[in-house]
Amino acid sequence: MGALSPCDSFAQFDKSKLLKLAKLYKYDFDDLAFIRFKDNLRFLITLASKMKLALILPVATASVERCFSKMKLLKTDLRNKTGDDFLNDALLCNVETEALVKVENEKT
């Protein structure tokens, strides 16, 4: 699976390992599909490395959408006059809840 990693423009790409992986999926690759896959593998990796931004963009867009969705919940009419610093802190706490769960309170 490391051969499919897009890090460093698919630096770990190894065609023989990917072909071995494809052979494990007999039901997904009949003989004709395997031959096509083998012939087009280099082209697919080249295309994916050129389109790296397009592959990452939906994930980045989803995180931004989640942040805006949280902001709509936080910035209500009652909180409309809240200062930017307080709103930023409240939004950060609301978005990064998983990280905040790990923070311990001061021990006294």
- Per-residue model confidence as pLDDT tens digits over 51-100: 666 666 666 667 777 777 877 777 776 667 777 787 778 777 777 777 77
Residue predicted with more confidence, 75 or 31: 31
Residue predicted with more confidence, 103 or 60: 103
Q: Are residues 7 and 25 in the same domain?
A: yes
Q: Considering the domain boundaries, does residue 94 fall inside one?
A: yes
In the chain, the largest separation of any two C-alpha atoms, in whole Å, equals 69
Q: Are residues 9 and 45 in the same domain?
A: yes
Q: Considering the domain boundaries, does residue 106 fall inside one?
A: no
Is the pLDDT at 9 greater than 70? The verdict is no
Is the pLDDT at 108 greater than 70? The verdict is no
Average pLDDT, the chain: 75
Is the pLDDT at 39 greater than 80? The verdict is yes
Q: Which stretch of 5-9, 12-16, 31-35, 89-93 has the lowest confidence by average pLDDT? A: 5-9
Give which of 44, 43, 41 is closest to 18, Cα–Cα: 41
- Can you give the residue range of the structural domain that contains 6? 2-50
Tally of domains in the chain? 2
Which residues 6+ apart lie within 8 Å of 29 measured at CB? 22, 23, 37
Contacts 24+ apart (CB under 8 A), 97-106: none
% residues pLDDT > 90 (the chain): 0
Q: Are residues 45 and 72 in the same domain?
A: no
Q: Are residues 45 and 66 in the same domain?
A: no
CA pair distance 62, 86, nearest whole angstrom: 24
